[in-house]
Amino acid sequence: MTPGVTWTRGEMLAVAGSLQVRDGDVTVVGLGLPQVCGFLARRTHAPSVRLLLEIGAFEPDPTESAMGIADPRMWEGSTAFGSLLEVLGVMLHGQRVSLGLLGALEVDQWGSLNTTEIVAEDGTRRRFRGSGGGNDISSSAERTVIIMTHQPRKFASTLAFLTSPGRRVDGRSRPELGLTGEGPTAIVTDRAVIALGASGATLESVHPGEDPDAVVAATPIPLAVPAGGPAETPSPTRFQLDLIRSRLDPKRWYTG
């Protein structure tokens, strides 16, 4: 940890998520923390990443927070404007997208997502926005990374609703399901980075100040721990925090 530098859990999540972006990626970003992660990566270690919004904006460069992808503030600085068809069709289904950054209500050990419906303890059901472009991204991007807060209720052995497929669904692999790409490679939370691979989920790193045993206890899915324990996620730098606070999320809607 850098002496004298403090951050919120949301800022730590944004920084950890940004590190999953590779320079040169073509990335579809979801609203909220996924967009902060993508823009932060482009302004730090991945200057050649190309960011796309499913609504049809290519390489936007917003200067303030937006309330949704249909908010024109989110489109500022775009190099081109197309439509849903250009991004989800020509780019994504044309296998030109290397990374999708997605949020989730629930996730299982294979990275399958529920963004549709939650069942409360009393059996009542609450409906949410559903897939949007999430199923398309999970199904067709070369790889995906899931960005979410670390709450036990968000991890499920069996999802209440399967919205978007992960690495395996009902015991079947992506090739068996006719899906392209590697699928989800990581779940990044405000406490840890969980790698997703052929054998399931592994606690790759915990964020500074987190206890690995406590993180495992708060993650109710099968979760392997590397021999010798997980690594520590790199701390946010002053430069990363300044970018988040001054440009990427100045209203603190997502990282406050």
Provide the CATH number for the domain around residue 191. Answer: 3.40.1080.10
Mean pLDDT of 24-48: 94
Same domain, yes or no, for 36 and 113? no
Same domain, yes or no, for 108 and 136? yes
Same domain, yes or no, for 184 and 220? yes
Same domain, yes or no, for 127 and 84? no
pLDDT of residue 223: 97
| pLDDT exceeds 70 at position 1 | no
Domain span at residue 117 reads 103-141+149-233
More confident residue, 31 or 1: 31
Same domain, yes or no, for 229 and 109? yes
| pLDDT exceeds 90 at position 182 | yes
| pLDDT exceeds 70 at position 248 | yes
| pLDDT exceeds 70 at position 195 | yes
Encoded tokens for 183: 């699928």
C-alpha to C-alpha distance for 237 and 5, rounded to whole angstroms: 8
Share of the chain above pLDDT 90, in %: 84
Mean pLDDT of 249-254: 91
Same domain, yes or no, for 113 and 22? no
pLDDT band at 190 (very low <50, low <70, confident <90, very high): very high
pLDDT of residue 174: 95
pLDDT band at 216 (very low <50, low <70, confident <90, very high): very high
The b/e string for 110-147 (b: 16+ C-beta within 10 A; e otherwise) is bbbbbbbbbeeeeeeeeeeeeebbbbbbbbbbbbbbbb
Supply the mean pLDDT for the chain: 93
Q: pLDDT by residue (tens digit) across 217-240?
A: 999 999 999 999 999 999 999 999
Same domain, yes or no, for 98 and 154? no
Mean pLDDT of 134-162: 95
Same domain, yes or no, for 112 and 226? yes
pLDDT of residue 3: 65
- Out of 21-35, 61-75, 88-102, 197-211, pick the least confident: 61-75
pLDDT of residue 124: 87
Same domain, yes or no, for 97 and 154? no
Same domain, yes or no, for 46 and 56? yes
- Which of 101, 115, 244 is CA-nearest to residue 186? 101
Encoded tokens for 12: 């730590």
Q: What's the total number of domains in the chain?
A: 2
Same domain, yes or no, for 62 and 130? no
Same domain, yes or no, for 84 and 174? no
**pTM for this prediction:** 0.94
pLDDT band at 153 (very low <50, low <70, confident <90, very high): very high
